[in-house]
Amino acid sequence: MIVGGAAEREDLLAAAVVEAVEGTGAYAGSVFLRSSDRRSIVLAATCGVPPSLLGGWRLIPVSSPIPVAAAFSSGRTVHLADAEETTRRYPQLAVALPYAFGSCSVPVGSGEETFGALAIVWAASPGGEGMSKAQRRHVRTIADRLGAALSGLRARTGDPVECDPQTTPVETPAPSAPAVRAGLFEWDLATGAVTVDDELCAIFGIDPSAFDGRAETLASFLRPGDRAALRAAARAAAAEGRIKAWRLRIRDRRDGSEGYRTVELWGRVLEDDSTRARTHLVGTVVDAQAGSAAVAAVERLRDGLFSLAPDGRVTYANHSALRLLGVHGNELLGQFLPDVLPWLSDPEVEYRHRSAMISQAPVSFLACRPPNRWLAFSLHPEADGITGRVVPVGDAPSSTTPSASSAETATDATPARLGVMYHVLQLGSALTEAVTAREVCEVISDQLLPAFGGQQLAIYVVRDATMHLLFHTGHHEDFLDWLEGVPLHARLPGTETLTSGTPLFIESQQDLSQGYPGIPAGDVRSWAYLPLIASSHPVGTCVLGFDEIHQFTERDRGVLTALAGLIAQALERARLYDSEFALARGLQQALLPHRLPVVPGIRTVARYLPGTSGMDIGGDWYDVIPTGDGVSLVIGDVEGHSIAAAATMAQLRSAVRAFAAVGHTPGDVMAGVNRTLIDLDPGLLASCCYIHLEPHGHHAYAVTAGHLPPLLRRPDATTDALELDIGPLLGVDRASAYPATRINLPPGSVLALYTDGLVEERGADIDVGIDRLRASLAHAPADTPDELADRLLHNARGSSYRADDIALLLTELAGHGAEVIPDHGVR
């Protein structure tokens, strides 16, 4: 259960999106919040349309040409009256979601800060005017109130206003008329007094203000023959402690005639030993007559009727529908149609469902139930779901008849199989965002398998003229194991498709055994082998596997063939990036200490985390330098991310060591390093903090060249940022002086030196980050400096995005009488 600020934030998001939808007559809405790296906005709450229908739009880069991202980035309202205006202004959105709808997106923020965006969607006909100016102002007001509330919540709790991409969005269903009504009551069986709510009065047809609170009055509204049954129910409750589904008939005058409808009485006595409890009945009267009558009427029809939830799950199917589809009710209810009926797994069905829900217009299509029975489907949407109708078609459609027809929609010109094209567009867009080979493989898996109905995917790459598995997903662990390590010239489908450059489509195990005798098929029934060739260079083979026999249409073959080139280019680019990234990181690690020296009386540990924004290496460094009269602790940061920054860092580290080794004072060391940087003339500046301490002297001398203040945690856990005399950055002025500050170090203290990557956050003052680190150092439970360092870096390690490198050097001074075992870890 979510508690505290997170729960309050969810309530704020849900209330805002519901108010926006209901206040404008829209059928769906959503709220996006910025991600922690500020590069994306993340779906945080929806009303009406479930997140599953939004597909790849749950995480949107802020630079995307999408209305909600444009509203977030620009701070302006983006109003699109209909599909025509959407196509004209945002063609990428129109191609990926080619449905007839209008939308309005507004920023959510407070003051000059933008937290996210609010968007609502309505069914739109061509030439519609969209929302009025008053409605747009209303939505903007709701978004402004939400932004102010989120800002206030952050001020109270300290939680940032951002959304983790892995967080499940808050879902609020679209409003719908209840099929069941329930009224609550409390009945004193001894006195006959009864207390009821307004809903129970409505079920009985009583004016709540005129009800006298007597059970006899309620009984007078029952069919005379049932009044004794009510008394029998009371006696049963007193004896057994409960009433379960006792049926009564209530006089019904709603249509002007005299009639009766059946309700159910449920209740139980209070659960304690008092006499009063045994005579007090609490419970409910349930009126499900409307729902029961509707079900009975639908079951009499010979047409198949079914109901889908907004996300596409089946919530009801009459007997005729089950008969036509060839399934049992317990197989279908709660499932997606394509998951239960493989012959409906064509992505076109997904497209039709999505079209109905987003455009709120009926759609229809044909499908063939094997072996040759054609069925006509029609989907009739409302915001709370879809009513579907299925009937048999007398004759098979001609070859010119499309397998789906949307004549009832505003998207007649939409080409068939646009469901597949949607995934293709998603794949192309997602591949531009993927950087590493692993990310590319995951994108391919996420897009290709659902687009073509596959269950297995493997990607083999060529290394040393042999095939090696790079990625696999699916429930068959041994899928294509026999391809591992085989030479490129072997006569196997995975190698021949690559050497010939021609995709290979195998639709059955029989076809496999005829073309390649002896190759194990396992539980896979069909395969698509796609050669990955980039710039005439063989990269590898992408293989899709299908658990059932899959017939590849000409369109499937064409699309997969085209995608193979796209995948090959992305994979080759990613593998090159991985290689260069590993080389750059290896060089950077080589420039840093591999092991810190052992110094009696202190324990030091260091951590280094590279940034994630690119492969350029940074200039952060740390060092521990034993000297004749103690030990020197150093941390520094050369500006920029480049080979030049790393080279300058290595030269400065060597200079610090050289000046310290000959016994210079801390101020002289820093001044000498400053002159060295100016003489090198790399065009770069650097910050540095240098602390010289005597392990048993309980004090130290510190100098800083524009670097962040060290943190000191004392034995009683009080922690402060040390106030040092700050000298100028290294490389500014050859004559710069660096005064030393004496600091006291009680036994058992912990000294923390760090670079700005650990405390800097875009849009926030760095002092806030320093204070947050100070609080973490003060309260982090840890038995060793190693554990303490890991706790301080926990959030940074878990983040998928780090704009800058992070260096951390912790030093613990031995307490009184404590024998400290050296532990000088570098990670």
Q: Is the confidence at residue 549, as pLDDT, over 80? A: yes
- Judged against a pLDDT cut of 60, whether residue 62 lies above it is answered with yes
pLDDT-based confidence at 408, cuts 50/70/90? very low
- H-helix or E-strand spanning residue 140: helix 133-157
Instruction: Kindly report whether the global pTM for this prediction surpasses the value 0.75.
Output: no
pLDDT at 15 over 80: yes
- The residue among 284, 214, 287 whose CA lies nearest residue 252 is 287
Band (117; pLDDT cuts 50, 70, 90): very high
Mean pLDDT (whole number) for 85-102? 74
Mean pLDDT along residues 402-420: 38
pLDDT of 524 higher than 60: yes
Residue 249 and residue 262 in contact, taking contact as beta carbons nearer than 8 Å: yes
Element spanning 202, H or E = helix 198-204
Token couple for 793: 């870096």
pLDDT above 70 for 350: yes
Which residues lie across from 730 on neighbouring strands?
686
% of residues, the chain, pLDDT over 70: 83
How is residue 787 written in tokens?
A: 């554990």
What pLDDT, on a 0 to 100 scale, did the predictor assign at position 415? 35
Residue 68 has pLDDT above 70, yes or no: yes
Say if residue 28's pLDDT is above 70.
Answer: yes
pLDDT value at 696 more than 80: no
The confidence band for 303, taking pLDDT boundaries of 50, 70 and 90, is confident
- Residue 418's pLDDT is 42
Band (543; pLDDT cuts 50, 70, 90): very high
Output the pLDDT for position 405. Answer: 37
Q: Which residue has the tokens 């995480």?
A: 59
CA atoms within 13 A on the CB side of 22: 12
Mark out the alpha helices in 261-368 (DSSP H runs): 275-278, 289-299, 319-325, 329-332, 337-340, 347-359
Give the pLDDT of residue 719. Answer: 92
Lowest mean pLDDT segment, chosen from 383-387, 407-411, 482-486: 407-411
Q: Using 50, 70 and 90 to split pLDDT, how confident is the model at 433?
A: low
pLDDT band at 402 (very low <50, low <70, confident <90, very high): very low
Percent of the chain with pLDDT over 90: 23
Task: Tell me the average pLDDT of the chain.
Answer: 81
Would you say residue 802 has pLDDT above 70?
no
- The tens digit of pLDDT for each residue in 558-597 reads 778 878 888 888 888 887 776 766 666 666 666 677 788 8
Q: pLDDT at residue 277 above 60?
A: no
pLDDT digits 0-9 by tens, 436-482: 788 888 888 877 776 677 889 999 999 889 999 999 988 887 888 89
Encoded tokens for 140: 């903007």
Q: Which of 28, 57, 30, 27 is nearest to 143 (CA)?
A: 30
CA nearest 4: which of 156, 161, 151? 156
237-251, 284-298, 489-503: which range is least confident on average?
Answer: 284-298
Please write the tens of the pLDDT for every residue from 176-224: 666 677 888 888 888 888 899 888 888 888 888 888 888 888 888 888 8
Write down the pLDDT at residue 114.
92
- What is the pLDDT at residue 4? 55
Phi, psi (5° rounding) for residue 526? Answer: -140, 155
Tell me what pLDDT residue 186 has.
Answer: 87
Q: Which residue has the higher pLDDT, 256 or 140?
A: 140
CB of 308 within 8 A of CB of 353? yes
Distance CA 539, CA 463 (A): 9
pLDDT tops 70 at residue 818:
no
* pLDDT at residue 652 tops 70: yes
Whether the CB-CB separation of 637 and 687 falls below 8 Å is answered with yes
Residue 671, pLDDT score: 94
**What is the tens place of the pLDDT at every residue in 228-272?**
878 887 877 777 777 777 788 888 765 555 677 788 888 888 766
pLDDT at 813: 87
The residue whose two tokens read 């065009």 is 683
Region 132-138: what's the mean pLDDT?
89
pLDDT at 26: 86
Judge whether residue 2 has pLDDT over 50: no
In single-letter form, the type of residue at position 391 comes to V
Question: By the 8 A CB rule, do 814 and 747 touch?
Answer: yes
Structure-block tokens of residue 57: 């739009």
